[in-house]
Structure 1
Amino acid sequence: MALPGTLANGIFQHHFPLGLSVAQGEQEQMESNSDRRRTKRTENMEETACIPSLCTYTQGKKALTSDLWGEPRPRLRGARPSLTLVCLSRALQLSVDTLQFLLFLYVQQLHKVSLRRSLLGDEWPSARTKSPSLSGKSAGGNKNWNDQEHLAFVQSHLLDMLELLLEPEQLSASSHSSCSSLVSFEAVCALSFLLEGTVSNSGSVRPLHELALRQPCHGHNGYSKVSRAFSLPKLESWLRSSLTANPLGMTVCLKAGKKLAWAQQVEGTTRRARIACSSRVVPEVSPMVIMSQVYRQTLAKSSDTLVGAHVRIHRCNESFIYLLSPLRSVTIEKCRNSTFVLGPVETSVHVQSCDNIKVIVVCHRLSLSSTTGCTFHILTPTQPLILSGNQAISFAPFHTHYPMLEDHMAQVGLATLPNYWDSPMLVCRDSGDASVFRLLPPSDFYTFVIPFEMEGDTTETPGGLPQEYQEVLSQREQKVQVWQRMVKEAELTRDQRKQFQTLVENKFYEWLVETGNRQQLDSLVPPAVSSKQAAG
């Protein structure tokens, strides 16, 4: 099933003043929900074979059971192995919360394809689609970046979503709700997939079903302890009266977030990196960092600002970006000709609409949509997901390190095994051609050096390299040693050595220019004392 990939930044993000907010990309509430009620209905293999793309777009929600994604599954205390448990385990591996999945499919309508517009020759997504600027003003119709669009969608379709969650006996003959329809507690739990918030500005974020069970709210949402259900008209009214835009979402971050000054411009560039982080800190919600329109720069940072953050990288071009801290999630969108070196990512890295970029990362999950000519050096315990619209993708083993890398991996719960960097999953039909990706040939493989000094204990690539790649590196190293020995045994005079050194340097300079690496080296030159980056 090919699902639109445009919700990869998170399903929705809205806030209810009394506490309901549309869930931010990876909400931790899903973890507690799935433990309390694993699944209402267990689907068979045929019915769930196309579901793996779900977790890609929900960024960490445990809608699919843990085994499918390589996460630890809680053990059954006191249970003895049996055929029944084996069958149950296999069924759960292929199961998904039905009501949550229905909601997930429904919210895909946020991005509808206009067939009439397609017939007129317009492309979708439209080339005119733009994102808000860092001033917070909307510059176009990119709904991923616009929390007001999310709010409007929920307000317009709230009744439809509630009816979608009703039990059949609560529907009329015309398949619609009535004034006497009751919404089950399980259905409200499913809505927690999308909605969460706070009570009386307490700052503590809670899922919708916890807020709905508060005694003061029962008179407003029609909850009955006897039936353990909600009156649909009252619940709808309560939700509508409480729903507002998310104060922790991307729009607010762009408009009122703290602006971060990092590396300075490279001489001759005409743009300046614009970076913002969420100014409001809530314990249950990870901070958000947005990077937009970085052009021909090298940006590097390892700080508390990034720890556990959701990072959104947008429209960066011809740049080298190093984010050397443990991160919560990363989305890279509409970037070109750039290299991204990321610290360990606890949940997912989603790359969309990018051309000729290189991503180097240890992450729990990687998903790709509409990318061309990109290379991914990864260490991941789950299969990389290749969604629709990808071309000429290369996968290669993770091949770098920095001193704090293993400590950061431990913080986000990632290890060196298992590692499925070389086993991508083709999810969508238009990705069915295996030629859309390749494993990088060992002959094209080189290690990557992170050019910054840090404190820490990691001195080599975690987990090492596959044998065939390590052998190629060893062969190159032997050739260098042979070359050095040859030069030493040539017994050149001082003038000859000087002339030879000049020749080698000239050839190296030509190589830097031809490969574009000169820009990267030039951008590593420290700025003047008066223009050093802010602490951020």
Structure 2
Amino acid sequence: MNEGIEPSTSSSSRFTKEQIVVRARREPFEYGLLPIPKLIFSDGTATLGPLKEKFIQHAASDTSSSSSPIRVDADGISQVLQISIDNARLVLDTLAAVLHSDSDPLVTAKPGDLDSVGADINHLILFLYIQSYKRLLPKSHKDSAAVADVWPSTSAFDGYLSALSPLQLVRSNSRRFTPSQADEEAYQLSYLQKHMTNILALLAESVEGENEDLLVLTLERFEHLGFLIQFGERGSEAPLSQAAPFFANSDPDMPAVPVPASQVHDWILQNIAAALENTSERISSKENGPSNNSDQDVAMADACTSSFKGSSGIRSPSYVEGISKTSIVKHASDLKGSSVKVLNCHDSVIYILAPLRFATVYGCSDATIVLGAVGKAVRVEHCERVQVIVAAKRIYIANCRECVFFLGVNQQPLILGDNHKLQVAPYNTFYSQLEEHMNQVGVDATINRWSEPLVLGMVDPHDSLSHPAGVSDVQAESATCLDPGQFTNFLIPNWFEAELPASTKHNPFPLPEVYMASQLKNHQNLGDIKQVLRDLHLEESCKRELSCALHIYFKDWLYASGNIRQLYCLQGD
């Protein structure tokens, strides 16, 4: 497995952690893992090395230029990996979502062209390699009573479903005591540290001539590592070739001299070790220091500001965390990066009206969450009785229950794990900058595959938690389409955007005919009721009684639905 990479005989340039910061790219680990058993290889190069050769053989006839990266299409992936063509397309689509270069043809391709464009074989091999990654095991909670205070009453399902049902999982592993971003970053770096020898062996090539056992990396092969790691100073990114001493001053008009893989290996491991030391110090300081304010209960009036945390790095996510029984609104100017994580929020309404690359909704219950336009992927996990409204290229739904998803999505919704009573429906809202945000991130309003969910297995092999015996034999549950009679438009109050130009006037996604007919019928019924009320010849006292009754019923609905707190919270904004 480690053959061909010898200890370096030359001293690598040393970089202090103040000069260069190496990080694992979060996206492949958070959005790029697929629970398809035939994609998971635990023997490193032993299987993936021969598979790479098969990919090259299959793609050789399609290679137009020897200087261009060799690409393999969906049919080639299907044949080599012996998976269905639908799963091969899913591999390409998922890889497109997590690639580090937005200029790669797979990223810029239209949804219908992914099959033929195919994947750079080296990117594909790295993608397949990390399918063996297992997520960090959640920590146990120090105060179980605190969890009971946050979570709603026990679900009716909990009496007879698996002990690892979505609600129970999140009860015992809420964001307040699951791994922090620093924990996850350290864990991902440790994984790369352990496997870097094999990863470089898969990217490297032999030297022709005298020393064929020596593995070297060209500049182009080295840049593929950007799929897994990034270098930057104070949160800004730099291309790998600029960060590496052996490629930093390469002449763009002259090919750089290939570098021994062992030299690259030593240099990367030195930087990972320094980064892990730095991360360990941060985690230790946080755990031993004063308690985090976000872990304390906050007053409702303060929740809108104190529970939102920005991040300094352009690739780091912003957090909306621990919101309970309130409503918040965030625009692009409120976000420090292009990704958002909505975590452990309950009985609330959350608006993130911004263009995003990635979004995660985790551990939420009894909430409505409106996400703006998401150009890469949305992941919704371990949620119960949540409504999610989003315009996105793709969405992954895992281990959720009794949730409704109002979607404008360019790719099939992917449903993973143990889900129950999910419903999908067409997109049902708009705000003034929605179309502008969709154009910025590349979401196409003419393509909406909301009604075509793709279901994978119930057990996620990447999850570190154990699973009940026999659960792998249970058929995973898909989502049903929302009854058109229950479909309604969701109104985003326009006072959120009093100073913003109103360029979007209506829902940019065309409604299916049956949902449009239901909408028209509802509007007609409302008009009929209004007309009946106008035509009633009532005495003034009866009119006052009718008006009072309507107000009482409306007030009861506001309290019963939880929408009353939107009026209180937003009035304060």
**1 CA distance for matches of 2:310 and 2:479?**
34
Q: TM-score, normalised by structure 2?
A: 0.67
Structure 1 stretches lacking a partner, 5+ long: 1-14, 28-34, 74-85, 115-120, 134-138, 171-176, 219-224
**2 CA distance for matches of 1:164 and 1:129?**
40
**CA pair 148-444 structure 1, distance change in 2 beyond 3 A:** same
Say what the alpha-carbon RMSD is for the aligned residues. Answer: 4.6
Higher helix share: 2
The alignment partner of 2:393 has SS state of strand
The equivalent position to 1:325 in structure 2, one of 341, 354, 369, is 354
**CA pair 212-186 structure 1, distance change in 2 beyond 3 A:** same
**CA pair 39-247 structure 1, distance change in 2 beyond 3 A:** farther
| Equivalent residue, structure 2, for 1:315 | 344
Aligned-residue offset at 1:205 = 2.2
Partner amino acid for 1:375? V
Partner amino acid for 2:308? I
Summarize deviations over 1:200-257 as a string: whole Å, max 9, x none: x597623334544755689xxxxxx9995332322211111223439999x989979x
The equivalent position to 2:405 in structure 1, one of 366, 376, 379, is 376
The alignment partner of 1:324 has SS state of strand
Summarize deviations over 1:34-89 as a string: whole Å, max 9, x none: x984535553433364341575488442799989889449xxxxxxxxxxxx9xx7
Aligned-residue offset at 1:140 = 5.0
Map 1:82-231 onto structure 2 (within 5 A): 92-93=116-117, 95-111=118-134, 130=173, 139=177, 141=179, 146-167=184-205, 180-183=214-217, 185=219, 187-198=221-232, 201=233, 205-209=237-241, 211-212=243-244, 214-215=246-247, 228-231=257-260
Aligned-residue offset at 1:521 = 3.7
**2 CA distance for matches of 1:372 and 1:465?**
25
Summarize deviations over 1:116-156 as a string: whole Å, max 9, x none: xxxxx9969977975776xxxxx555689521222222223
Partner amino acid for 1:363? A
The alignment partner of 2:533 has SS state of helix
Aligned residue pairs total: 456
| Equivalent residue, structure 1, for 2:268 | 239
**1 CA distance for matches of 2:417 and 2:520?**
38
Is 1:64–1:97's contact at 8 Å kept on the other side of the alignment? no
Is 1:25–1:60's contact at 8 Å kept on the other side of the alignment? yes
The equivalent position to 1:475 in structure 2, one of 521, 530, 539, is 521
Aligned-residue offset at 1:332 = 0.9
Is 1:19–1:211's contact at 8 Å kept on the other side of the alignment? no
Partner amino acid for 2:492? I
The alignment partner of 1:402 has SS state of coil
**CA pair 383-445 structure 1, distance change in 2 beyond 3 A:** same
**1 CA distance for matches of 2:567 and 2:234?**
49
**CA pair 69-182 structure 1, distance change in 2 beyond 3 A:** closer
**2 CA distance for matches of 1:57 and 1:41?**
13
The equivalent position to 2:365 in structure 1, one of 316, 330, 336, is 336
The alignment partner of 2:312 has SS state of coil
The alignment partner of 1:395 has SS state of strand
The equivalent position to 1:363 in structure 2, one of 365, 377, 392, is 392
Confirm whether residue 503 of structure 1 aligns to residue 549 of structure 2: yes
**CA pair 191-19 structure 1, distance change in 2 beyond 3 A:** same
Aligned-residue offset at 1:462 = 1.4
**CA pair 491-296 structure 1, distance change in 2 beyond 3 A:** same
**1 CA distance for matches of 2:507 and 2:18?**
45
| Equivalent residue, structure 2, for 1:514 | 560
Aligned-residue offset at 1:331 = 0.9
**CA pair 127-315 structure 1, distance change in 2 beyond 3 A:** closer
Q: TM-score, normalised by structure 1?
A: 0.71
Confirm whether residue 25 of structure 1 aligns to residue 27 of structure 2: yes
**2 CA distance for matches of 1:20 and 1:490?**
73
Summarize deviations over 1:320-348 as a string: whole Å, max 9, x none: 10111222221111111111112112221
Partner amino acid for 2:486? D
| Equivalent residue, structure 1, for 2:505 | 459
**CA pair 370-296 structure 1, distance change in 2 beyond 3 A:** same
Is 2:362–2:383's contact at 8 Å kept on the other side of the alignment? yes
Partner amino acid for 1:411? Q
| Equivalent residue, structure 1, for 2:79 | 46
**1 CA distance for matches of 2:246 and 2:256?**
16
Partner amino acid for 2:563? N
**1 CA distance for matches of 2:164 and 2:419?**
17
The alignment partner of 2:333 has SS state of coil
| Equivalent residue, structure 2, for 1:440 | 482
**CA pair 275-44 structure 1, distance change in 2 beyond 3 A:** closer
**CA pair 214-235 structure 1, distance change in 2 beyond 3 A:** closer
The equivalent position to 2:377 in structure 1, one of 345, 348, 366, is 348
The alignment partner of 2:366 has SS state of coil
Is 2:405–2:424's contact at 8 Å kept on the other side of the alignment? yes
Confirm whether residue 385 of structure 1 aligns to residue 414 of structure 2: yes
